[in-house]
Amino acid sequence: MITDDEVDAIPETAEGEAFPDLRTSDIQVLRALSGDDALAFQGLKRKMQIHQEKLSRALQRLEDDGLVVKSGRGYALTSKGSELAQHWLAPDFRSPTVIVQSFVPGRADPRLIASNLVGRWFGNLRWLGMRETPESVVLRWVTYDGRLEVTLRMAWERLTIETNAKDDGEMVEAFLAAQHIFGMLAGPWNDDWHVSQLAIST
């Protein structure tokens, strides 16, 4: 979590436009949304561990400044917001741990599969948000206290479930949630769709 002491200068965008009125909570939101297509309000609240009224005010300020936009999927950075957020991103040297890898036959549309998972809860994991590209779909969940995340990545022929778990206890929790998520992937999405070749990393 950043403090007011860390926010000693508000950088300018490439166009030279500064945002001197940004508060610490605004910058926390920019950080949290960076790299994601959209995060649901409750998911963002859990990820940041911030009071909902404080989050609402920060989001409103950022929307008014043209840094954040709200859609049916949640909140996302605009191009200007994404550019500005890069100034405060802390380096993260911990690579996610893959706990499930599987083959998905190419005729199964990952977006169709994702539609069955959006908004769902699994154990202690609550819905965080989704990112979609032409090649893949990424769905994320986070525990209520924001300490543990589980991510499902699906492309046309493969899927992985990974976690940021830091110890054995968190890994067990993530693994159990991954089993629930994997169980929800059962079709039939088309006549011969199935998920096969399950591989659990060790």
pLDDT at 193: 44
pLDDT tens-place string over residues 157-180: 788 999 989 889 999 999 998 888
Q: For residue 128, give both structure tokens.
A: 């965080």
Quick check: 107 pLDDT over 60? yes
Percent of the chain whose pLDDT exceeds 90: 22
Q: How confident is the model at residue 189, as a pLDDT?
A: 53
Q: What is the mean pLDDT of residues 55-62?
A: 94
pLDDT at 99: 92
Which residue, 140, 164, 146, 149, is CA-closest to 40? 140
| Per-residue pLDDT band at 93 (split at 50, 70, 90) | very low
CATH number for the segment(s) 97-199 = 3.30.160
φ/ψ (deg, to 5) at 73: -90, -15
- Pick the range with the lowest mean pLDDT from 5-9, 81-85, 99-103, 134-138: 5-9
Give alpha helix (H) positions in 5-163.
24-33, 41-48, 52-64, 79-85, 110-115
Q: What is the dihedral of CA 39, 40, 43, 49, to 10 degrees?
A: 80
Stretch(es) of the chain classified as CATH 3.30.160: 97-199
pTM: 0.62
Range list for CATH 1.10.10.10 in the chain: 4-88
Class of domain 4-88: mainly alpha
Average pLDDT over residues 82-88: 78
Kindly report, residue by residue over 178-190, the tens digit of the pLDDT: 888 888 876 555 4
How would residue 84 be classed by pLDDT, with cut points 50, 70 and 90?
confident
Which two tokens mark 122? Answer: 């699994």
The predicted-structure confidence for 18-54, as pLDDT tens digits, reads as follows 555 788 889 889 888 887 778 889 888 888 888 999 9
pLDDT at 63 over 70: yes
Counting beta carbons within 10 angstroms of the beta carbon of residue 83, is it exposed (0 to 12), middle (13 to 18) or buried (19 or more)?
middle
- State the pLDDT confidence band at 7, using cuts at 50, 70 and 90: very low
pLDDT at residue 201 is higher than 60? no
